[in-house]
């Protein structure tokens, strides 16, 4: 075999180790260690420090921006004055006592924001009390029933 390769070695546990026919491995030019310029190391450290500082600056701005923009997962509230105002009163079905009352605004088509009502009042299974008609939620979050011309609405609902 050629230089740099161990042809035979004998190892005994706890005893001496002997190598036969071992020659040093010649190093190629790519294996030589380059001399390190101290100024390049300083530049590299300086660049790393600048990158670290910039990263911290960006992260701090990002954290502040994200923290200020974080809101609970609530349905959007209708714009005040967007449509007709309806005074909605949630009453207990059996005792007819008022649970809560709030003014809600219909969209331009006369539909109430039923998703927002359910979320704010923590209720489900909403029923129009006077008509004994369930009020369902459409995909846009508004009621499936139009309340044009109605200024007071009494509803029954189950608590969540």
What element of type H or E holds 10? strand 8-11
Q: Is 0.75 topped by the overall pTM?
A: no
CA distances from 79 to 38, 76, 83, 84, 122 (A): 65, 9, 8, 11, 21
pLDDT digits (tens, 9 = 90+) for 146-160: 998 899 999 999 988
Q: Do the domain assignments include residue 135? A: yes
In angstroms, rounded to a whole number, what is the distance separating the alpha carbons of residues 117 and 109? 17
CA atoms within 13 A on the CB side of 10: 5
Query: What CATH number is given to the structural domain containing 115?
Result: 3.10.20
pLDDT digits (tens, 9 = 90+) for 37-89: 556 556 667 788 888 888 888 877 766 555 555 555 555 554 444 688 999 99
Domains identified in the chain, total number? 1
Structural domain harbouring 132: 85-159
In angstroms, rounded to a whole number, what is the distance separating the alpha carbons of residues 125 and 112? 15
Q: Do the domain assignments include residue 95? A: yes
Residue written as token pair 């994200």: 66
Task: Phi first, then psi: give them for residue 122, nearest 5 degrees.
Answer: 55, 60
Q: Do the domain assignments include residue 110? A: yes
Q: Do the domain assignments include residue 62? A: no
């Amino acid at each position: 075999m050629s230089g740099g390769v161990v042809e035979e070695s004998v190892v005994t546990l706890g005893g001496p180790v002997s190598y036969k026919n071992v020659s040093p491995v010649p190093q190629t030019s790519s294996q030589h260690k380059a001399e390190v310029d101290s100024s390049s190391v300083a530049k590299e450290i300086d660049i790393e420090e600048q990158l670290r500082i910039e990263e911290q600056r960006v992260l701090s701005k990002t954290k502040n921006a994200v923290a200020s923009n974080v809101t609970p997962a609530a349905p959007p509230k209708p714009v005040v004055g967007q449509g007709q105002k309806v005074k909605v009163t949630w009453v207990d079905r059996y005792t007819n006592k008022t649970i809560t009352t709030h003014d809600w605004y219909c969209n331009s088509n006369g539909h109430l924001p039923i998703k927002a009502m359910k979320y704010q009042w923590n209720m489900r299974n909403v029923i129009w009390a006077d008509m004994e008609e369930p009020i369902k939620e459409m995909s846009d979050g508004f009621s499936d029933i139009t309340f044009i011309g109605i200024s007071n609405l009494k509803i029954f609902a189950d608590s969540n």
